[in-house]
Amino acid sequence: MAKISELLANLEMDELMEVVQKELDNGTDPVEILKEGEAGMVKVGEMFSSGEYFVSDLMMSGEMFKEMGEMLEPHLAGKTGDVLGKVVLGTVEGDIHDIGKDLVYIMLKSGGFDVIDVGVDAKPEVFVNALKESGAPLLALSCLLTTCYDSILNTVKAVEAAGLRDQVKIVIGGGPTDESVVRYTGADAVGDDAQSAVRLCKEMI
């Protein structure tokens, strides 16, 4: 079983799918297989953070994890893996960057979160509606433009105005964001990369 996490971490796509199928045929608990996959994704995230893996590697691992999930899905019926919680994710209004946001989506999803992706250039009310509908306790905002810091600020204010601020933790990320942006906007934390976004969400939930 440890092989599954290794194969995923080494980006051995074809072999991974073969081994997953074999484990399923052998009657291995699909929840356990999924956990192995998650462990592999964590390793990929670490290797990305350390500069050993590139964005395209991260995309590939996401695809592998997704395909693996699709294979496991019919076998998972009735068995719920450990879903850590829900996260609403999106790129703030005025900014259409999607790569970083998509990477965070992959990493959160493989980290055991149920992710509601509201897309890019999302208005504050879009985030608020998604939070209301899902009841998610976490909001992740991506922003790569310094000119869009006010969009983060407005989104935080909208969450406050909707009376949700004390139930929702807000994490921000993207190229130029740092602690000073957290202070300026009233968010809770900033992540340097996709991996730290997962770490922060796990800490805050």
**Interacting residues toward another protein by CB under 8 A:** 11, 54, 56-57, 59-60, 63
Return the number of the residue (52 or 192) whose C-beta is nearest another protein: 52
Residue closer to another protein by CB (options 58, 148) is 58
What is the torsional sign of CA 110, 111, 112, 116? negative
Least distance between another protein and beta carbon 54 (Å): 5
Q: Closer to another protein at the Cβ: 56 or 147?
A: 56
- C-beta separation of 158 from 127 below 8 A: yes
Minimal distance, residue 29 CB to another protein, in Å: 29
Shortest reach from residue 122's CB to another protein, in Å: 28
Q: Are the C-beta atoms of 66 and 10 separated by less than 8 Å?
A: no
A 10 A CB-CB count for 76 gives 15
Q: How far apart are CB 48 and another protein at their closest, in Å? A: 12
CA–CA separation, 89 and 107 (whole Å): 12
